[in-house]
Amino acid sequence: MTLEIRAPFAGWSCALAEIPDEVFARAMLGDGAAIDPTGHELRAPCDGEIISIAAARHAIALRATGGAELLAHVGIDTVALDGEGFTVHVRKGDRVRAGDLLSSFDLDRVARRARSLVTPLIVTNGERFRIVRARIDRRLAAGDTWFELEEISAAAATGAPATQRHFSATLTEAVVVTHAHGIHARPAALIARLAKTSPHEIEIRARGRGADARSAVALMSLGVRGGDEVVIVGFEPGAAPVIAELARLIRTLEPGTAEAPGEIVASPRRTTTPGRAQGVIASRGFAVGPAQRFGVEEFRVSEAGDGTAVERAALQRALEAVRARLQERARGAMVEVRELMAAHVELLDDAQLREPAAAGIEAGKSAAFAWRASIATSSNSLKATGDARLIERTSDLADLERQVLRELLGESAPRFQARRGAILVANDLTPSQLIDLDVSALGGIGLAAGGPTSHVAILAATLGVPMLVSLGPEVEALRDGVDLILDAEAGELVTAATREELAAARARLSRVREQQARDTAAARESCHLASGERIEVFANLAGSRADTRSAVEQGAEGCGLLRTEFLFLERTTPPDEAEQRRSYQQVADELGERPLVIRTLDIGGDKPIAYLPLPPEENPALGLRGIRTSLWRPELLDVQLRAMLAIRPAVRILLPMITDVTEIDRVAGRLDALCGELGVPRPQLGAMIETPAAALLSDQIAARVDFLSIGTNDLAQYGLAMDRGHAELAARIDGLHPAVLRLIAAATAGAAQHHCPVAVCGGLASDPEAVPLLIGLGVTELSVVPAIIPRLKALVRALTLGQCQALARQALELRHAAEVRELVRRAAAP
């Protein structure tokens, strides 16, 4: 018999050998073919039954009529996304027909984080079926015939799901899986490949179920996660050598990798091509320049102390000095640095670090020895979890270890002068080391270790420094001055580039810089659509001079949202009027005559404050939030309004979480009274549209205020009835869902009745795919993250109002967010 296999989505068909991953390219999971997708929906390639869905939602297996087992694996290294951006539309055991929707994914989000979007379709029981008449190296539409499967033998597949044995196991060995992502495609392929070398049957048992060790699909279907214990089972004495090898293999799958010693490294995969190292993208970008090595200072500490009292006092002085330095670093810094410094202060005061150090001092150890030992214990505990994100937090502990040891030993931080355009190479960096560097001089950063969600990676992305991590130990051996090409778009560091490659890379870098320079220069001008209509592009800010100055340099025409929560968090008493006034005024001073919109305190729900104990609530998101909290404690609101009224030039005041006009009237009454008391004119007053109620009553609200500002993050949460903090639902909350777009349309229509301008200050304003739709729905102001302003203004200037309105009308009639995004992408395609 033959079975027709159809393309699961549109794209370019290619052979497995072209996949940038050895496990798939070498057919270790089985024979098959691949597609580089242009669509975002994975559809069934044939009729069959769903037999496995990966925990990370990136891979689905089905058993076709006749017994062929097929694995569709969307992208390469997508297991590391932990399901982010993926939505599965079927369940294990479901019967599907060819063309049925199996899963959908955010094409852009997955493309930004995955090593490749090339998607293999693997025949995992190739001993029974072979591929014939494959259509390779051509463009296919979804549903086109891709290849056929021809049955070789009716013999039972070795990859079939394991059945209950009616005889006892002869050999067993228990192993804990340390790989952060458990047994997914690559570890399963390695285990199955090794198990097939034995003529004896071997099972892997976990979570109360068993699977044939020779079947990668069966192994993946167990759902084994990092930290789980598996039992390797053999039924004949001759299986003992392979069982021992399997146990060794599983133990050597280090957290965050899928490495078989001396053979394959899969997460990240490090190429064996001389002169090239592959890593994980931590901060996107492209750089060409000489290597500059960054060494880490070593501290020699004495184990024996000089007495309990002396060492205890020394540790306390060191901790206080480091705390003071962290707090000083936070002053006037960008919000990400402030938040990081606050987190490090919390760690510094953590009892799990202090108490073991104190116990070590009591046992006669020196403060330095005891502090280092305490840090090591906590770091090892994080590593033992197998959770990649927790493991990345060990760099924060290493940072604090070094800072405290410097204080204890009386040493100063080493001075490091970054050379202009250099690519810094090191084993790893701590957050404070990166903050101390003159990143404006650096071309990029390449680290042997580290992870993409570490604090140093987040800082690098914020600072706009291209960075690759997990490049492997060979990076540390690079000599100073050797020319490097750091491609943090493709995840590759070229360490032995030819003259032709260097010339091409420098030409590419020059083009990128020229485009960025053009966008940045043009961003300083006011923004108009190609059809002439004015669109204002403002910045969302968090209160520091540095943030504000950077936003102005990027072309911000004002501040559309100044968050004030940062003044109220992580303290025991609320800020007084003078402190608030100083903070708001420094932002106004940096903006000059540009508009400044200050949002009143948006607290409650997921942002509680210690000195404002809120009543117990089963669902804080539906309780005292935003303006409700301010009206519940009006003395806090009065102090904040007084501080805002003192700012020059006059600011605009924005009220969060409005539901209806009664809340606006109450605040307006207090504002009018304060203006009369202070002898100042009433400033412009605006309302945030964050609830469906506010969107539907926008005509009434617009009659009471001077402007509206749509907070799309909460509007999507409340409009779709999905909690943003819910791990299973967060990936499905998309502000481009037609239901959310209809709420935005209702808000702009109501505002138009009173000629009330409408801004968007939520996440959608910073999403290039959303911008044409927002403009088409009647939005005239976008308040966005500062870094994207030049790019966004360039985008707006290429649009016409008619195009945007036509696109918006189509989007309102679609069924879900994925269709809306596909519509926008098609419209933007050349």
Residue 611 belongs to a domain with what CATH number? Answer: 3.20.20.60
pLDDT at 157 over 60: no
Q: What is the mean pLDDT of the chain?
A: 83
Mean pLDDT, range 365-374, rounded to an integer: 92
Supply φ then ψ for residue 35, to 5 degrees.
Answer: -135, 135
| Mean pLDDT, rounded, for 594-618 | 73
User: Which one from 344, 455, 737, 804 is the annotated catalytic residue?
Assistant: 455
- pLDDT tens, residue by residue, 697-735: 999 999 999 999 999 988 998 999 876 544 445 556 788
Identify the sign of the CA torsion 451, 453, 459, 461.
positive
Is residue 639 located within the same domain as residue 691?
yes
CATH label of the domain that carries residue 232: 3.30.1340.10
Beta-strand ranges (E) seen in 563-713 are 596-599, 652-655, 685-689, 707-710
Last residue of a domain, one of 409, 425, 446: 409
* pLDDT class of 254 with cuts at 50, 70, 90: very low
Q: Do residue 471 and residue 603 come from a single domain? A: no
Q: Determine the pLDDT at residue 459.
A: 78
Examine the domain organization and report whether 622 and 489 are in the same domain.
no
- 574 and 665 share a domain? yes
Residue 104, beta-bridge partner list: 41, 87
In angstroms, the CA 274 to CA 86 distance is 35
Q: Which of 123, 151, 179 is the last residue of a domain?
A: 151
Q: Are residues 384 and 495 in the same domain?
A: no
Asked if the structure places residue 271 within a domain, the reply is no
Instruction: Looking at mean pLDDT, say which of 12-26, 183-197, 431-445, 575-589 comes out highest.
Output: 575-589
Mind listing the pLDDT tens digit for each residue in 68-96? 889 899 988 787 777 888 999 998 888 99
Query: Cis ω on the peptide bond leading into residue 241 (within 30° of 0)?
Result: no
* Residue of higher predicted confidence among 281 and 421: 421
Question: Does the pLDDT value for residue 201 go beyond 90?
Answer: no
**507 and 565 both lie in a single domain:** no
Q: Does 123 map to a domain?
A: yes
If one counts the domains in the chain, the total is 5
Residue 156 lies in a domain: no
**257: in domain:** no
Instruction: Give domain status of residue 522, yes or no.
Output: no
Judge if 732 and 800 occupy the same domain.
yes
Distances (CA, A) of 88 to 79, 129, 537, 788: 14, 27, 37, 31
Predicted pLDDT at 54: 78
φ, ψ dihedrals at 311, nearest 5°: -70, -35
Q: Are residues 111 and 128 in the same domain?
A: yes
Whether residue 649 has a cis bond before it, omega within 30° of 0: yes
User: Looking at 527, 559, 756, 761, which residue is catalytic?
Assistant: 761
Tens digit of each residue's pLDDT (9 = 90 or more) over 277-299: 888 888 878 999 999 998 777 78
Between strands 467-469 and 685-689, the pairing is: unpaired
**How big is the chain by its Cα radius of gyration, in Å?**
29
CA dist 484 and 465 (Å) reads 15
228 located within any domain: yes
* Amino acid code (one letter) for 58: H
CATH of the domain at 492: 3.50.30.10
Q: Is the pLDDT of residue 181 over 70?
A: no
Separation CA 74–CA 59 (nearest Å): 6
Backbone angles phi, psi at 64, to 5 degrees: -80, 160
Does pLDDT of 158 surpass 70?
no
Shared domain for 399 and 427, answered yes or no, is: no
Nearest to 600 by CA among 571, 622, 567, 578: 567
Q: 748 and 616 share a domain? A: yes
Can you tell me whether residue 306 is helix, strand or coil?
A: coil
165 part of a folded domain: no
Boundary-marking domain end, from 86, 121, 151: 151
Alpha carbon distances (Å) from 814 to 30, 40, 449, 739, 823: 39, 15, 45, 9, 9
| CATH code (residue 363) | 1.10.274.10
Q: Provide the domain limits for residue 774.
A: 527-828
Whether pTM > 0.85 for this model: the answer is no
Q: What pLDDT is stored for residue 179 in this prediction?
A: 65
Residues 545 and 621 in one domain: yes
Q: Would residue 628 count as lying in a domain?
A: yes
Residue 271 has pLDDT above 60, yes or no: no
758 and 785, same domain (yes or no): yes
pLDDT of residue 681: 95
Tell me, yes or no, if 754 is annotated catalytic. no
Q: Are 627 and 656 in contact (CB under 8 A)?
A: yes
Q: What is the mean pLDDT of residues 721-750?
A: 80
Residue 171, token pair as written in the block: 């050999």
Residue 42 maps to which CATH number?
A: 2.70.70.10
Question: Rounded distance, CA 451 to CA 335, Å?
Answer: 21
Token code pair at residue 323: 């705390």
164 has pLDDT over 70: no
With residue 116 as reference, give the H or E element that holds it: none
Q: What pLDDT, on the 0 to 100 scale, is given for residue 390?
A: 54
